[in-house]
Amino acid sequence: MLGHLRAKALVSFKTRLEQSLSKGEGFAASVRSCTRSCMLEFDEGCADVAIRHSNWDASKVRDKLRRDIGGHASSVRHAKLSEMIAVYEVSFSINVMRHGCLLDLGFLQIMSVIMLFSKIMNTLFGMESESNFSGCDPK
């Protein structure tokens, strides 16, 4: 039963995160918000189950859910970063070719990294310095 609640909460997290990101909300804020609501959903389900089965300890399953959510958030973050890097590398290459610049590859790579860093930090992370999971524990 606890495993079912964990799986249900994880699916809910994935769905909510995808919806939140597709609306254009910031990554870290979306992860925090979705984590908070899914962990609360899990805790409420566990409270109902605990009434019927008073000897069940949901803490290990809750920890597993938190790790699963963190793993999914990391894979989504990696995919988004890879996507953005690919887009900006192509854009940078096209601009260099359009202006007839013949620069060595090393310089292009350095310039591309410098340009991407600022854009990625502002766009994806919204200049948030907090951890994705800080304050997510509803207890």
Tokens of 118: 């600022």
Distance of alpha carbon 99 from alpha carbon 117, whole angstroms = 23
Whole-structure pTM value: 0.64
Amino acid 126: pLDDT: 53
Q: Is the pLDDT of residue 133 over 60?
A: no
Amino acid 131: pLDDT: 45
Tokens of 41: 């959903």
Amino acid 46: pLDDT: 85
Q: Is the pLDDT of residue 135 over 60?
A: no
DSSP string, 71-123: HHHHHHHHHHHHHHHHHHHHHHHHHHHHTT----HHHHHHHHHHHHHHHHHHH
Q: What is the pLDDT of residues 65-98, one digit of tens each?
A: 999 999 999 999 888 888 887 777 777 666 666 6
Domain chopping of the chain, boundaries:
2-124
Question: Which band of pLDDT confidence, cut at 50, 70 and 90, is reported for residue 125?
Answer: low
Q: Is residue 133 within 8 Å of residue 35, measured between CB atoms?
A: yes
